[in-house]
């Protein structure tokens, strides 16, 4: 028996957004793959057992354990014949997905986890599934809230189970984190990559190289994406003019802002707002 909910991406959130979620009691030997996906997918096993394969590893998992499938990684998973598993899953993507997962010690190289308080995670998933008939906006927000709660619990568990030597922060990761925090605090100002580098205290090229290795984009690309994400929110939630929104997210020239916006979103700011208002009217 399966419950599956797909979420269209209507909220203007670039950092993190949920694509789907569900629950399934698998039949014996039920499998998926081998296949690749374009988004992240967390599975959490509440009963039974099965196996999860990546290109290089095979993991045998049981209740209280889980795994994550990362984008563009070939994976395969199969329920046990004697004790087929039951699991919940949640799919998501976004600019911050990889960095947030890293905080929970999850990645393509480390794709499994243990969380023995099954009732805690089951409750979060069940509460989300109970909202599946809600309108899209509410469901997307609830999905995002649930995802953050799940990742928070996994991070706390990994933090408690990590040895003292492993708890030490990676200094390279801290530099990247400081750069992201600087952008989040100052994106509305006229900041440059050079200015960010001076604040961190590192050579611009070296910092940009570190940033790419952790975030998969350059500092400049991340700054632009972050600004456009904030602009989408303002277009959706306020009646500010395009010029006012442009200045609010760090663009002094509205024409430059509009070009950047269209390059990322595929439409101009005015058309984006018009389309969002039209969709909202249809929903009501």
Q: What is the pLDDT of residue 279?
A: 54
Same structural domain, 9 and 140: yes
The boundaries of the domain holding residue 17 are 2-164
Same structural domain, 84 and 152: yes
Instruction: Out of 102, 132, 164, pick the residue that ends a domain.
Output: 164
Q: What is the pLDDT of residue 62?
A: 95
Q: What is the pLDDT of residue 284?
A: 44
Distance CA 65, CA 114 (A): 4
Instruction: Out of 146, 164, 182, pick the residue that ends a domain.
Output: 164
Q: Name the residue among 107, 65, 116 with its Cα closest to residue 88.
A: 65
Cα–Cα distance list, 210 to 18, 151, 269 (Å) = 27, 24, 32
Same structural domain, 156 and 192: no
Same structural domain, 156 and 191: no
Which segments in the chain show pLDDT lower than 70?
Answer: 1-2, 4, 6-13, 135-137, 158-169, 276-284
Distance CA 93, CA 16 (A): 6
Same structural domain, 22 and 139: yes
Distance CA 52, CA 29 (A): 12
Same structural domain, 176 and 272: yes
Same structural domain, 41 and 137: yes
Q: What is the pLDDT of residue 167?
A: 43
Q: What is the pLDDT of residue 16?
A: 83
Neighbours of 42 (CB within 10 A): 25
Contact 12, 235 (CB under 8 A): yes
Same structural domain, 35 and 154: yes
Same structural domain, 17 and 49: yes
Same structural domain, 237 and 115: no
Alpha helices in 201-268 (DSSP H): 204-215, 219-237, 242-248, 254-265
Residue with tokens 């500010």: 240
**How many domains does the structure of the chain reveal?**
2
Domain with residue 82: its CATH number is 2.60.120.280
Question: Which of 50-70 are b and which e, b meaning 16 or more Cβ less than 10 Å from the residue's Cβ?
Answer: bbbbbeeeeeebebbbbbbbb
Q: Are strands 65-69 and 112-114 parallel, antiparallel or unpaired?
A: antiparallel
Q: What is the pLDDT of residue 103?
A: 81
Same structural domain, 229 and 131: no
Q: Chain centroid to CA 82: how far?
A: 35
Contact 231, 221 (CB under 8 A): no
Q: What is the pLDDT of residue 113?
A: 93
Same structural domain, 124 and 185: no
């Amino acid at each position: 028996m399966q419950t599956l909910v797909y979420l269209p991406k209507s909220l203007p959130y670039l950092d993190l957004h949920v694509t789907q979620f569900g629950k399934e009691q698998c039949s014996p030997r039920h499998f998926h793959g081998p296949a690749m996906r374009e988004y992240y997918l967390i599975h959490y096993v509440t009963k039974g057992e099965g196996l999860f394969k990546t290109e290089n590893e095979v993991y045998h998992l049981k209740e209280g354990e889980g795994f994550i499938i990362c984008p563009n990684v070939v994976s395969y998973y199969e329920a046990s014949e004697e004790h087929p598993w039951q699991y919940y899953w949640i799919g998501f993507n976004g600019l911050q997905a990889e960095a947030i997962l890293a905080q929970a010690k999850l990645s393509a190289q480390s794709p499994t986890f243990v969380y023995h308080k099954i009732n805690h995670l089951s409750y979060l998933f069940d509460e989300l599934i109970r909202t599946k008939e809600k309108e899209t906006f509410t469901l997307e927000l609830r999905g995002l809230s649930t995802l953050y709660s799940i990742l928070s619990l996994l991070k706390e568990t990994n933090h408690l189970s990590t040895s003292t030597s492993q708890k030490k922060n990676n200094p390279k990761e801290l530099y990247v984190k400081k750069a992201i925090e600087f952008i989040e605090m100052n994106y509305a100002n006229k900041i440059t990559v050079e200015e960010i580098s001076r604040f961190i205290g590192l050579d611009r090229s070296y910092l940009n190289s570190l940033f790419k290795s952790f975030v998969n984009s350059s500092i400049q690309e991340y700054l632009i994406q972050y600004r456009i994400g904030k602009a989408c929110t303002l277009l959706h939630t306020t009646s500010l003019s395009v010029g006012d929104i442009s200045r609010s997210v760090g663009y002094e020239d509205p024409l430059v802002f509009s070009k950047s916006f269209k390059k990322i979103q595929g439409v101009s700011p005015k058309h984006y707002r018009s389309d969002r208002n039209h969709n909202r009217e249809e929903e009501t």
